[in-house]
Chains A and B, each alone.
Chain A
Amino acid sequence: MPTPRSSRKKRKEVFALGAEAVAEGALLAGCSFYAGYPITPSSEIMETMASRLPRIRDGVFLQMEDEIASLGAVIGASLAGRKAMTATSGPGFSLMQEHIGYACMAETPLVVVNVMRGGPSTGLPTSPAQGDVQQARWGTHGDHSIIVLSASDTQECLHMTVTAFNMAEKYRTPVILLLDEVTAHTREKITLPLPGEFEVFNRVVPTMPPEWYKPFEETVRGVPPMPPIGSGYRFHVTGLTHDVNGFPTQRPDETVDLNHRLFRKIDQFFHDIQVVEEYQTRDAEVGVVAYGSVARSARYAVDQARARGIKAGLLKLGTLFPFPKAAALRLLSSCRAVIVPEMNMGQMSREVKRVNGGRSSVRTLNRVDGQIITPSEILKALTQV
């Protein structure tokens, strides 16, 4: 006998694309503004938002003339108090670098989803790749700190999008969510969270009188409160190096204060930002470090290796940058060899090698033919080390 609808507290299961899960996660996180430009393989995120946002009170969807304009509009909306996002793929991500830097400098919370496809240039529009990892970290000019996340399956697309918005709001920073074509285009069952199940973080707004407010002042967390435009706190926002009032400055003392704070506000919360999953790593002798759709192959390969008596373990990276050094060191310290399979020529293995310090033997496993890395390839590598 079915229970009455109202008493049901079960989570709802739906069949969704990774891209649709991203849109769902964004709406759960309170995103009410999307501006974008169509590009394969990310367009499904845009199309879902185009359908959903106009039917939500205050929801705004805009199709802009290019990716530069898209991120410009997203920054404008964020300054006006909205949680805002855009989604793109490699070529569009390259165009967005200018405004990613602006968002870092002006400390504007926003989320950019990059569904990675084969590159360089227009490359392979409908094939997966992971070639934008270092670009996500260092793509815009100048020293800057940034948060880069990734998701490996449809469920994670939803969760990580919420996490991305939370981190953007908490640290007043752009957050890049890197997916790959396979993750965005996999349709599978996901569980929607119950209302209020996820913590949703909203940016801290100033409570002092406007005349006391200094928009870029040092705070304990390194993150100054941020009022929406038009709320009575009139201040100046600029991409130029600025003082605590937001006015351009060239004074060395003010310049160094700003630059150090922009790094420190991310650095000192490493523990909060680092999202990793350690699978079978406790007694692992050979390890795999993977992210994105490759992590799914890696997990299967680890199970297969264990069935053959090889003590394998997986470190799945949810946060790519700042690089989860502590978790990587744990794996590197216990394993005689660590394999880093990637759909690029070795962008994340650089980071693993950088922190390795001779602890383990770091092997790369690369594929740049537009095909996924299969479990058997990883299993073969695990049996050979």
Chain B
Amino acid sequence: MSDVTQLIHQYLRHNKKFPHVFCPGCGHGIALGSLIRAVHGLSLSKDEVVVVAGIGCSGRIAVYVDFNTVHTTHGRALTFATGIKMASPKLKVICIMGDGDALAIGGNHLIHAARRNIGIAALVLNNNIYGMTGGQTSPTTPGGARTATSPYGALEKPFDLVDLARAAGANYVARGTVFQAHLLDRLISSAIERPGFNLVEVLTPCHTQYGRKNKFKNPVDMYQALKHAAVPREAWEHFSEAERKERIPVGVFVERDEPGLEERYRVMQAALLARPKAREALPEPNGHDPASTKAKLEGVES
């Protein structure tokens, strides 16, 4: 227990006015704990970690942690994170998004970040609902579920985030649950450590907005259901079609080691700068020497 207290003091902000916004039974606090344990386990300095968050309950995690934190716009966290990573590749950029955030309004940014394979650890806290705005249908709300905007049952098919990220080209794709905190620690740790775009889907229950409308008496029921549903990917692959129903595979799905965009850019830039002709034709790094500019503007001495 003293370890936990020590981590809390080390990584949560002292100057932030607590309490936090999470409801009783919310899984986001467990995901936050995993994030802190992962950073601590990797011995990263707090100055080199940037947490970029979107909008929603998950977005508020950024306020509490004592890293460099940016609370961005709805769905666009990955775009800010891309700018930060490209501008300062030495930073460890961790992006925290919700399911509505990453998959509805930010769906385009998600697939392109994965395609670029930009060096970001993306954590998608999937609670199958828009929690903060009052429990509306999200792109991961299961078919038939009752929400504030699907009072007669959701008609649309939910996204499978793992399949989506894999198809889009992410380096590392994993799924964990807040019920299995130790596994989640490991998955998040890998996502932060590895190069390229690494995505972890975190299944986290929302009793307040989802459970109460869908016959879960209390948060414990939801954690029980999560425990029952989650099976290791390896076991799930041997399941029959009938057995797979109502079950969710967890673990690592994609593990590639392709260099991130920032690394590929660095290599290209180094090659360009090594060519004396290209370098000479350019202004000084601070851009203050236009006299030597020849690249695009064909000059004549006056």
Contacts and interface: CB of A to CB of B under 8 A. Distances in A.
**Best-buried of A54, A57, A80 by chain B (most CB within 10 Å):** A80
Contact of B66 (A54, A84, A234, A238): A234
Contacts of B48: 230
B2 interface: no
B301 A8 contact: yes
Contact of B298 (A11, A15, A52): A15
Interface stretch (A68-76, A130-138, A305-313, A320-328): A68-76
A281 B238 CA distance: 85
Given A72-B79, A230-B47, A60 B297 contact: no
A28 B62 contact: no
Nearest to B91: A230
Contact of B80 (A75, A232, A236, A248): A75
Interface string B32-48: 00000000000000111
30 contacts: A12-B299, A13-B302, A16-B297, A28-B290, A30-B288, A33-B83, A33-B86, A35-B83, A54-B268, A56-B283, A60-B87, A69-B82, A72-B76, A76-B79, A77-B83, A77-B86, A77-B87, A99-B76, A102-B73, A194-B291, A195-B290, A195-B291, A229-B68, A229-B88, A230-B50, A234-B68, A234-B69, A236-B62, A237-B70, A238-B63
Contact of A195 (B68, B278, B288): B288
A107 to B, nearest CB: 13
B301 A69 contact: no
B36 to A, nearest CB: 15
A234 B55 CA distance: 20
Interface in B56-90: 62-63, 66-73, 76, 78-88, 90
A43 to B, nearest CB: 14
A10 B63 contact: no
A236 B87 CA distance: 18
Interface residues of B, number: 61
Interface stretch (A19-27, A114-122, A292-300): A19-27
B157 interface: no
B279 interface: yes
Given A13-B302, A236-B71, 6 more contacts: A55-B295, A60-B265, A62-B83, A77-B86, A229-B84, A230-B90
Contacts of B300: 12-15
Interface stretch (A239-247, A268-276, A332-340, A341-349): A239-247
Q: Which 3 A-B pairs have the closest CB atoms?
A: A76-B83, A72-B79, A73-B83
Contacts of A32: 287
Interface of B: 15-17, 46-48, 50, 52, 62-63, 66-73, 76, 78-88, 90-91, 108-109, 112, 265, 268-269, 272-273, 278-279, 281-283, 285-291, 293, 295-302
A98 interface: yes
A112 interface: no
Nearest to B295: A52
A31 interface: yes
Contact of B71 (A73, A74, A237): A237
A365 interface: no
A247 B21 CA distance: 13
Interface in A198-251: 200, 228-232, 234-240, 245, 247-248
Given A16-B297, A54-B272, A65-B112, A195 B289 contact: yes
B285 to A, nearest CB: 4
A51 interface: yes
B76 A24 contact: no
A372 interface: no
Given A24-B293, A54-B269, A240-B71, A73 B86 contact: yes
A64 interface: yes
A80 B268 contact: no
B287 A82 contact: no
A55 B279 contact: yes
Contact of A74 (B83, B91, B290, B295): B83
A48 B297 CA distance: 10
Contacts of A72: 72-73, 76, 78-80, 82-83, 109
A28 B287 contact: yes
A229 B83 contact: no
B283 A12 contact: no
A358 interface: no
B68 A55 contact: no
Given A12-B291, A23-B296, A76 B302 contact: no
Given A55-B282, A80-B91, A12 B290 contact: yes
A332 B282 CA distance: 47
A15 B69 CA distance: 45
A20 B298 CA distance: 11
Contact of A51 (B67, B268, B295, B298): B295
B47 A80 contact: no
B161 to A, nearest CB: 18
Nearest to B287: A27
Interface in A37-87: 48, 51-52, 54-60, 62, 64-66, 68-82, 84
